[in-house]
Structure 1
Amino acid sequence: MSNPVKTAIVGFGSVAEKMHAPLIDVCPDLALVASVERRTNRCEELYPGVITFRNLDALLEADAAELIVITTPNEYHYPMAKRCLEAGKHVVVDKPVTIFSHEAEELNKLAEERGLICSVFHNRRYDGDYMTLQKLVREGDLGDLVYLESHFDRFRPDVSENWREMEVPGNGITFDLGSHLIDQVVLLFGLPDWIQADIRKQRTGAIADDYFDIILDYGPLKARVTAGALVNVPTPKFLLLGKKGAYQKFGLDVQEAAFKLGQKPEGANWGVETEENWGKVFLNEEPKSYQTLPGNYRVLYQNVADAISKGAKLDITISQAISVLKIIEASFISAQEGRRVSKEDGGW
């Protein structure tokens, strides 16, 4: 039995505190040993035994961790991940892995050359509703698929002080939520033939984009991913249409809400959605409730630990993230120029 992989978190904001740290803490093959915080000692207050460093260089100089998790604002992902890989450390970067695809390509090359694990926190691959969607696609009961609609809508009419809504590189909803939704579609159906995007700033005083609507075309199948900050009405999380039937699902995966309540991600009931919130399958007869598979973000860090300690295949790779970034880059071009961007032009 190998020792748990010593793990550090860089940037201990709310996402790190509410989600990353608890997931690392419950993973038996990882040990949370350090955090980088400029002013606070929040991580060590919550997890005795954790050592606080004031900057990344101090952490690397101390050689305190083998795996470094980067949860800083997007503009710091690339330089920090590069620095960690050059220091011989394995890395998990919150999404998007970098702002530009060429930066992710450099990280990928560096990780391969050094024989290191470099992964991305695409936790929404382990949403219960998305895993249920994968099951439906795999089993084929809806017949040949023609349309997928994927929403991540919220009602946040006031612009916040969060860095994602400020004038900084990598800001906005397309990088924040689009990276998740595009990643899910590409994992499900592969790379699209072309994309077309509409990206806007809808709220009064918005500095960063707060709405996107992106079409990913697969010939007979069209996928649409969309998110907005001015949606004060229920919209389906997923709508999947096939030639024999359809699936419709409302409501978000239960794990994020549980994290916000401070619940620990452990036990058999983690990620289990109550029956009244299950989606519905529409075939020839009356619509039927379709059980949502339990979501499980724990899988992500366990896989990273297994890849480091046991040589297991990494589930979320940088090469996958590069394709998503190229589609995001093409989406901004499409929105600015009002045109489709093909796979050949976008280079994904």
Structure 2
Amino acid sequence: MPNTLRVGLVGYGFAGKTFHAPLLGTTPGLTLAAIASSKPDVVLADWPEATVYPTPEALIAAPDIDLIVIATPNDTHAPLAQAALAAGKHVVVDKPFTLTVAEAEALQAQAAQVGRVLSVFHNRRWDADFLGLQQLLASGRLGRVTELTSRFDRYRPEVRQRWREAAVVGAGIWYDLGPHLIDQALTLFGLPDAISADLALRRDGAQAVDDALAVLHYPDKRVVLGASCLVSGGVPRYLVHGTLGSFEKYGLDVQEDQMKAGGMPGMDDWGHDPRPGRLHGWSNDQAVVEDLHMPAGDYPQYYAGVRDAINGIGPNPVTPEQAIAVMRMIEAGTLASKTGQRVALK
């Protein structure tokens, strides 16, 4: 049986505390052994058995750590991942992978050179509604898909004083929610021929993009991706049209809210989506509507996959190549918005 992997988590802000720590702490074969944070009291209140390091560098240098998880501001992802790989560690980087394609490609090459697993935390592949959508498309009940609209919205009309909303590279909703939307689209349909986009600052006092709309152009379909800080409800998460029918799904996956409330993977109703999707079809010239219940969301599957990849018994759940494709889309969408023109990707 493979040895238990000792994990060091760099960063204990929102992403580290809400997502990574609970998943790492409950995945068999992984031990959350250490956390780098400037707030040791906060860390130890949640994880009293963990060793707290004052800096990322000190944690990366620890000889007893097998896997480093980077959950820090976006502009630190590349240098911290580079340092962790240089120290001989396996590495998970929170999304977005890096700030640029060039940084991402350099990390990919370094990981290959040192023979370490490098993965990116695109956890929304394991949302309940996305898993349900994949099942529906695989069933053929929609026929050939002609259009998909995927939106990930929030209602945050007040600009907050934090790096994610500041006028810095890597901030804004295109780098925050955009990677989720793009990764799901690429998982379903692969790289499009081109992208057009409108990235804007809509809120009073906004310093970073808070409204993003992108269109991915495929030969046989259109994929529309949207994210905004000024949507308070009433918009489907997914709206899909095909030659045999349409599908709509409201509401977001519940796993984030469960962890925010202190829940842990493995609890009763973990990942259970209370809102079914709705399939619209036709039979005997009559409209037919059917509720489709989603499978359970499964974020723990990501870290189980990372564990197996490190132990050489399974594939990397999100490869550097896949994450680089997302970064190419981020860069191309930014260029398309600046120029007002469609940007080719193939």
TM superposition score normalised by structure 1: 0.96
Q: 8 Å contact 2:61–2:87 — kept in the other structure?
A: no
Partner of 2:35: 35
Counterpart in the other structure of 1:283: 281
- The equivalent residue for 2:52 is 52
CA contact (8 A) 1:34 1:64 kept: no
Residue 297 (str. 1) matches residue 295 (str. 2)? no
The whole-number CA distance in structure 1 between the counterparts of 2:44 and 2:89 is 21
Q: How far apart are the structure 2 equivalents of 1:31 and 1:44? A: 15
Match of 1:65 in 2: 65
Q: Could you report, residue by residue, the CA deviation over 1:68-112 in whole angstroms, capped at 9, with x for unpaired residues?
A: 000000000000000000110000000001010110101001111
Query: 5 Å matches for 1:72-151?
Result: 72-151=72-151
**What amino acid maps onto 1:280 in structure 2?**
R
SS in structure 1 at match of 2:266: coil
Deviations 1:127-155 (A, max 9, x none): 01001111111111111110000001111
1:11-44 Cα deviation digits (max 9, x unpaired): 1112211221110011011000001112434223
Q: Is 1:157 matched up with 2:142?
A: no
Alpha-carbon distance between aligned partners in 1 of 2:46 and 2:268, rounded to the nearest angstrom: 24
- 1:317-346 CA-partner distances (Å, limit 9, x unpaired): 1111111111110111100110000114xx
| Residue identity matched to 1:28 | P
Letter in 2 for 1:210: D
User: 2:126, 2:299 within 8 Å by CA — same for their partners in 1?
Assistant: yes
- 3-state SS of the aligned residue for 2:105? helix
Q: Is the 8 A contact 1:148 1:223 kept in 2?
A: yes
Alpha-carbon distance in 2 for matches of 1:125, 1:303: 13
Deviation of residue 113 (structure 1)? Answer: 0.9
Which residue of 295, 309, 312 maps to 1:310? 312
| Alignment match, 1:241 | 241
State the distance in 1 between where 2:277 and 2:318 align: 27
How far, CA to CA, are the matches of 2:48 and 2:64 in structure 1? Answer: 15
Residue of structure 2 aligned with 1:335, choices 323, 334, 337? 337
Partner of 2:196: 196
Shift of 1:267: 4.0
Residue type of the partner of 1:133? Answer: L
Letter of the 1:44 partner, please give it.
L
Aligned-pair CA distance for 1:268: 5.7
User: What amino acid is aligned across from residue 237 of structure 1 in structure 2?
Assistant: R
Q: Is 213-222 or 304-313 further displaced after alignment?
A: 304-313
How far, CA to CA, are the matches of 2:339 and 2:12 in structure 1? 38
In the alignment, the residues of structure 2 paired with residue 193 and residue 117 of structure 1 have an alpha-carbon distance, to the nearest angstrom, of 30
Corresponding position: 1:252 with 2:252: yes
Q: Distance in 2 between matches of 1:269 and 1:3?
A: 30
Task: Kindly report which structure 2 residues correspond to 1:315-330, keeping only aligned pairs within 5 A, or say none.
Answer: 315-330=317-332
Change (3 A) 1:209 1:106: same
Give, in whole Å, the separation in 2 of the partners of 1:41 and 1:84: 25
Amino acid aligned to 1:184: Q
Distance 1:306 1:268, change over 3 A: farther
- 2:276 maps to a residue whose letter is W
Q: Quick one: distance in 2 between partners of 1:230 and 1:318?
A: 33
| Distance in 1 (alpha carbons) for counterparts of 2:167 and 2:213 | 22
Counterpart of 1:226 in structure 2 is: 226
The amino acid of 1:107's aligned partner reads: L
Question: Is the contact made by 2:60 and 2:68 (CA closer than 8 Å) also made in structure 1?
Answer: no
Question: Does the CA contact (< 8 Å) of 1:41 and 1:52 recur in 2?
Answer: no
Q: TM-score, normalised by structure 2?
A: 0.97
**Cα deviation 1:161-208 (Å, max 9, x = unaligned):** 221001222000001000010000001000001110000000000000
Aligned length: 342
> What one-letter code is carried by the residue in structure 2 that aligns with 1:327?
M
- Aligned equivalent of 1:182: 182
Superposition RMSD in Å = 1.1
Range moving further from structure 2, 309-318 or 252-261: 309-318
